[in-house]
Structure 1
Amino acid sequence: MAMAGSVGVKPRPHHSTPRRFLGRMSDIGTIEDASVVLSVPSSVTTDTASPLASPTTVDTSSPIFPIEVFEHIIDECCIGEGEGWYDRESIRDDQETLLACALTCKAWLPRSRFHILRRVAFSDTSQVFKFAHLLDAHPDMANLVQCLNVYEERAYPGRAEYTWHVFAFLMMLTRRMPVLRSLVFEGTDIHNISFDHRSIICISAFPAITSLSLSNAKFASVAHLGRLILSIPALRSLACSEVRFWKRGFDVCDLPPQANRLRLTSITLQDCPNEDVVNLLLATSTGEHFESLDVDLFAAYYGGSRLLRHSGQGLRTLRMYADGESIKDMTQQLSPCDLSHNINLKLSRELIINDTASVPASVWIPKLLRTVATSAMQEVTVNFVKARWMASYSLEWKILPPYILLSEDDCAAIDGALSRSKFARLRKFRLTLDWHVDVEPYMACFPRLLRRGILSIDAGRDSSMFGQPMRYPYYSVRKNDRRGHLK
């Protein structure tokens, strides 16, 4: 086995990991083969055989570098917090690399295991059962788990919509992870995640949760979602994507009595075409703590302007997202978004706009920019992710013709909006396109920004840069932004 200080060690799964370890490392059930690393018992009867049951002395000496150097390398193998940290794909990627690190040598094992256990993802109750046994056998590991992702990814072609409940997952882990901070539930179009009162009771038993993310989830009513978020008094970050309700309507009287409002600092609303969700957030949270708001124009149309007013001067980062399917019937009603109340957007120095819409950009982006109240905005980013759909109609397009993503009128409207006096301190306008395009025609369409030397256009360097899930263009942009493709 390689020594900790060996030169040329490449802790990557393709080189260092035996073939049988190349499964999904986020699925604790499939890591059973690697029980030497994770000490996951294959059955209850093998708990006593776990290496952790009898502590092993680890030689951390190195003839070349101190062990701290290698621990720093292992730390760098993981994605940083705040950059899609709880995304199950990033958990899988990181755990494959970390498992290879853990198998490198004994000196690398403690730090690798620390990171492997910090974020876990499960899609099956059998995995949770084994993980619960691991925590029971080694209670000290419970204090390492900070992020739990529960997801459903199995697909049954032709099967009618199916709802699955998370109570079984939560019941086995209740009170076993006292420092859990991030809780993520991801369903699919076919398999929605469902929450009942028992699930809410279980979630309330995790006192340290500050971040909750719900995707393809279904509740009996908006009030049930309210009971869920109110059961997490320390909640600071809430993300809802494609959250649906059996019953429409919202009455604040249906919520339990609350001593204090939630102090949410970050809110994400994607594809939640329900004004009742906005009403819930207005009724249960204090707007002065809002610092980051990510909304699509569905949310903007269904009360997003009230969220912006509610946040007022506290808002520091705003990301807007437009989808053609969601707003093609709203073309004439895109003006409600008003940033005139959010004077502290200057502190973020950045306004990010993502657009996949078939509606012309000149319809809504300049209108939004004209409402900016601060004169201290330093950076504006517009991400266009239309090209994946356009290229699908003509697969021979390796380089798209000019103006197929953005018309000359669109460019002129944006150029004019950003040339107003309130943007005099603007230092960069960044336009990113997700496909190979000829950049020069676009550069010529922003003459005033070009003369100021603040124009930056980044065409897609890789036709597959936005990964598989075309259904989530906004999340794809964020994922690739943290990977550095859109910088």
Structure 2
Amino acid sequence: MPTDSQLPFPAELTEAIIDFVDDEQTLRATSLVCKAWVARSRYNLFRVVELCLPAHLDRFNGLLASSPHIAPHIKEIAVSENSLLALLRPAMAIVARLPNSLLKHPQVKPHRLAVHNQSWLPTRYHPEYLTGLSQLSTISSLDLFDVTFTTVADFSIILRALRRLRSLSATHLDAQRQLPSEELVAIGAELPLLTSLRVISQYPTSVIDWLLQYNTFPVLQDAEVSYEISGIDPNQGLGPFWHATGSTLENLSLTISKRASGASFPIQVIEKLFDMSRCTALRALRVDFRQERELAPDWAWLVWLLSHLPKHGALRSLAFAFQHSSHALATLHQFAAEVDRVLADAPSFSLLNQVVFEFDYRNPAEVDQDEDALLAKFPALSERGILHVELSA
């Protein structure tokens, strides 16, 4: 076995190479090469612990008991059980037993908890469950995907237990039963440290509506919102979210879809859901249209939103994301003149220094006539020299 001094590459390079390894068997092999490779190999082996079956949690507990030295490497716990056991015997589900398991090994200090494809029913677990969950004080990031609660009250008490969250991702959440509006108000929570929020919801959006409408995020800075609007439901919660976060929100990525294809949003819906006049701290706005499929899309909501941003706002960067130049030209042409006029004339954009079209892929500039035709539809922005085209990151 070579000694550390005999290794031919700098430590930074070998660690970068090990980071690219994505299978357990190879990482086990790299950990045996030399002492210098052990720490980085263990970091990649144990950084993410995936638990999909009840037996996985039992094996995880046994591993920690026999090898406590791996505990500092564990940064993320990912639970994706999706089994009947979680419904028939909820107290035996992985999410039900996880807090107690982690508290038995205090040297394990995960930063991120991911719960996917799961029924999460904290009110059906042990009476001390929430006390245990609240003691996992190192968890600062929560990632939820396809999670079902009995009611949003379950979601509320989870958020109250994890009050140290700095990042929350909530995608396709659902509740088995709906609560009356007066109860929804009463169970709202405050996440005093949350700076990053990502929500993706298709109609019915009731769980996400509760999150956006009845919870407070006093220091929220970055938000990614993908949201389907029914056009007729007055209780959707997007509008109140802008009012509550307007003084702190700095970066926003927004994707809006319509439940009824071809239907236009009534002006009453637009005024209620897209009033961002209180977003005085907004510096970067990105609007994603890559999922837009209509031949004649309705961009009236976007024109209204841009027209009603704070008159003395801080917006510096505006981006529109499309699949490619032909897609942008086909979907934008009816509203291009209005968008160009609003961005060039409204006082809200006095500090705007770039308007970017983001494409998933680009043809060579010399042969892409659609890209030239698209840019030609924005003469005022082109004259200011702030119009650009980029590949999506």
Bin the TM-score by the shorter chain.
0.7 to 0.9
Aligned residues: 362
Matching residue of 1:433:
359
Residues of 2 paired with 1:299 and 1:152: CA distance?
A: 31
Displacement of 1:358 after TM fit?
4.1
2:314 is matched by which residue type in structure 1?
A
- Give the conservation status (yes or no) of the 8 Å contact 2:229–2:256: no
RMSD of aligned alpha carbons: 3.8
2:221 is matched by which residue type in structure 1?
E
Residues of 2 paired with 1:456 and 1:99: CA distance?
A: 47
- Give the conservation status (yes or no) of the 8 Å contact 1:427–1:454: yes
1:290 is matched by which residue type in structure 2?
L
**TM-score, normalised on structure 2?**
0.77
Residues of 2 paired with 1:329 and 1:402: CA distance?
A: 20
Matching residue of 2:270:
334
- Please list the CA deviations of residues 131-190 of structure 1 after superposition, one character each: whole Å capped at 9, or x if unmatched: 222111122322321211122589xxxxx9x96969532325432364112111121xxx
Residues of 1 paired with 2:305 and 2:244: CA distance?
A: 17
Matching residue of 1:312:
246
Given the alignment, which residue of 316, 320, 332 partners 1:407?
A: 332
Change (3 A) 1:379 1:306: same
Does 1:380 find its partner at 2:318? yes
- Give the conservation status (yes or no) of the 8 Å contact 1:324–1:357: no
- Give the conservation status (yes or no) of the 8 Å contact 1:269–1:299: no
Question: Any idea what SS the aligned residue of 1:419 has?
Answer: helix
**TM-score, normalised on structure 1?**
0.63
Matching residue of 2:304:
367
Question: Any idea what SS the aligned residue of 2:136 has?
Answer: coil
- Give the conservation status (yes or no) of the 8 Å contact 1:210–1:237: yes
Does 1:443 find its partner at 2:372? no
Residues of 1 paired with 2:328 and 2:361: CA distance?
A: 12
Identity %: 22
Displacement of 1:224 after TM fit?
1.4
Q: Structure 1: 5+ residue runs without aligned partners?
A: 4-58, 79-91, 155-159, 388-398, 460-485
Change (3 A) 1:367 1:97: farther
Displacement of 1:326 after TM fit?
7.1
- Deviates most, 316-325 or 213-222: 316-325
Matching residue of 1:357:
292
- Deviates most, 361-370 or 323-332: 323-332
- Give the conservation status (yes or no) of the 8 Å contact 2:254–2:288: yes
Displacement of 1:247 after TM fit?
0.9
Given the alignment, which residue of 323, 329, 352 partners 2:257?
A: 323
Does 1:454 find its partner at 2:386? yes
Displacement of 1:329 after TM fit?
5.1
- Give the conservation status (yes or no) of the 8 Å contact 1:362–1:414: no
1:144-163 matches, within 5 Å, as: 144-151=73-80
Change (3 A) 1:113 1:297: same
Question: Any idea what SS the aligned residue of 2:157 has?
Answer: helix
Given the alignment, which residue of 99, 102, 105 partners 1:174?
A: 102
Does 1:227 find its partner at 2:165? no
Matching residue of 1:424:
350
Residues of 2 paired with 1:166 and 1:70: CA distance?
A: 46
Residues of 1 paired with 2:300 and 2:34: CA distance?
A: 59
Change (3 A) 1:297 1:257: closer
Does 1:269 find its partner at 2:199? yes
Displacement of 1:340 after TM fit?
1.5
1:290-301 matches, within 5 Å, as: 290-298=220-228
